[in-house]
Amino acid sequence: MFCVWKSKRSFDQLEIPYLPRNNKCEKMGAEESKAYSPVSSRTSSVRSCPGIDFPNHCRREQRAWSLLHQCTLEKWKEGHADAAGFKDTMLNCDGSIHKDCSPAFCINRQGIININKTSSIFSFRRRSKFTKMAEHFEYNHIPAQLSSVQNFHVKSVLGFRANLVVLHLVRNMATQFGLLDIKDNKFKGVFGKKSVEFNNDVVTAALSPDNCFCLIKVPYKTGSIYKHRLELYNIESKQHITMVSSYDLPGEHAHFCFDPRFSSSRIAVTNIFPDQVNSLSLVQTDNWSILATNTRVDDTRQELYPNLTDLMYTKDGTLVVAIVLDLTCHCREKKTMRNYRPVDVSVFIFNADTTSTLHCMKYKRYTCGQHLCPVNYMPIFSQSSNRIGIVANIPDIPDRHYVQVYKLPAQINLQSLCRIVILDTFNSDAVPKLPLPPKLINYLNFVPEFH
């Protein structure tokens, strides 16, 4: 029913001395593997990866946080990703932040190929401001009337979910936001006009799981000083995108994300209290009430910022993941390869209902958290949301990347366990075609019955 993964071969080939080995996986022989993988008797919709073994008893019986598999990044792209139930194979990107990519959008992962238009015919702006990301969206998605006549220009991508993209637009030195459906290539409108132009690093956005609301962190001026607040917009309206509510933040730094188990009524947000600079809270957005708070997210630091780079939920919404990064820049050393050192990456995992700390994963990665695309150090999740994958490097070998797959704690209920088995068996494209009621198909695709 499952395809299996031959862990013995992959572990022996890698020869990574500092990573633990799994004896159960290593003792899995060819005859034993056949008993776990009757792939030949299944249809083409079943996940099929010949030559890659991943024993079912390792998938099911291993404890949470166990290392399930490791392989080179090349092997991951050749078939190990699909065998483990992961869709993401692009785990390494040389794009520059806010030029080629943004914290919310990687053009290489999305398969976007940029044509460098160096002629002045293509832009009335100075070339130093004309980035590859802006070039793509302006010439492929933004209506000509907005870009040429009304002088709208793309500055960055603030948020991305499914087919919707939230753009940071600038017109006459003033920030505005745009909503774009990249699947239908339809520009849906402009909203949130501001009086000044903001830098990309002070404006962030997130789309709700039902794609009906957009939450944006933006500065605002009170008197002679700037403060920050969260603004919730209703983007479902076909006529005007309006702001529903707002919440004033105590400081300029905050990360937030929507709980996928709800429509738009619950978020996880950092540093929402004035005196707590190392906290994670669950907030109800309809009245901005605090449901739970963890006052000590990172025990190794007094403050989260500037080291916290991202905050996210797992697909099933049971875990909150925070990525803390060493922001030391080694771009100059990378050019000469002298004294080139990896950065330390920490992945903190919390209970999504209580914000209690469950686990911390630490690894080293040759990248730059200030100037390179976040894809280089961001974790990924399997289709069934019960495994997490990271890319790590061995010190002193910056050109060799290794993917490690770890098991996540699963919900102890029949629905969730059945979903894991189904999603581990069938490809994601085959799930909508299964002979199941629409409600079950939605559940398999992590589309909840919104509360």
pLDDT of residue 53: 54
Lookup: tokens for 438: 């629409």
Task: Enter the DSSP assignment of 426.
Answer: B
Residue 308 falls within a domain, yes or no?
no
Residue 343 falls within a domain, yes or no?
no
Q: Are residues 140 and 243 in the same domain?
A: yes
pLDDT of residue 420: 92
Q: Are strands 256-258 and 242-248 parallel, antiparallel or unpaired?
A: unpaired
Residue 395 falls within a domain, yes or no?
no
Residue 321 falls within a domain, yes or no?
no
- For the stretch 89-122, pLDDT in tens is 889 888 888 888 888 888 888 776 554 444 343 3
d(CA 191, CA 182) in angstroms, rounded, equals 18
What separation in angstroms does the CA of 395 have from each of 95, 392, 423?
A: 23, 10, 35
Lowest-confidence pick of 82-91, 111-120, 153-162, 431-440: 111-120
Q: Kindly state the percentage of the chain with pLDDT values over 70.
A: 78
Lowest-confidence pick of 50-59, 149-158, 363-372: 50-59
Alpha helices in 155-263, H assignment, sequence order: none
Lookup: tokens for 342: 């990896």
- For the stretch 180-230, pLDDT in tens is 988 888 888 889 999 899 998 899 999 999 889 999 999 998 888 889 999
> Is residue 40 pLDDT above 90, yes or no?
no
Q: Are residues 243 and 132 in the same domain?
A: yes
Q: Are residues 149 and 177 in the same domain?
A: yes
> Is residue 402 pLDDT above 60, yes or no?
yes
Q: Are residues 113 and 243 in the same domain?
A: yes
The pTM for the full model equals: 0.82
Strands (E), 141-285: 153-161, 164-170, 175-181, 186-191, 204-207, 213-222, 225-234, 242-248, 256-258, 266-270, 280-284
What separation in angstroms does the CA of 284 have from each of 251, 292, 375?
A: 20, 10, 30
Across 425-445, average pLDDT = 90
Q: Are residues 171 and 102 in the same domain?
A: yes
Domain count, the chain: 2
Lowest-confidence pick of 141-145, 386-390, 397-401, 430-434: 141-145
pLDDT of residue 296: 92
Task: Enter the DSSP assignment of 416.
Answer: H
Q: Are residues 51 and 104 in the same domain?
A: no
Q: Are residues 109 and 244 in the same domain?
A: yes
Across 396-422, average pLDDT = 89
Q: Are residues 111 and 244 in the same domain?
A: yes
Residue 187 falls within a domain, yes or no?
yes
Q: Kindly state the percentage of the chain with pLDDT values over 90.
A: 42
Q: Are residues 79 and 101 in the same domain?
A: no
* Domain of 192, in residue numbers: 96-206+223-228+239-248
Q: Are residues 63 and 123 in the same domain?
A: no
H-helix or E-strand containing 343? strand 343-351
Residue 450 falls within a domain, yes or no?
no
Q: Are residues 135 and 32 in the same domain?
A: no
- For the stretch 245-272, pLDDT in tens is 999 999 889 999 999 998 889 999 999 9
Residue 214 falls within a domain, yes or no?
no
Q: Are residues 138 and 244 in the same domain?
A: yes
> Is residue 13 pLDDT above 90, yes or no?
no
Residue 340 falls within a domain, yes or no?
no
Q: What is the mean pLDDT of the chain?
A: 80
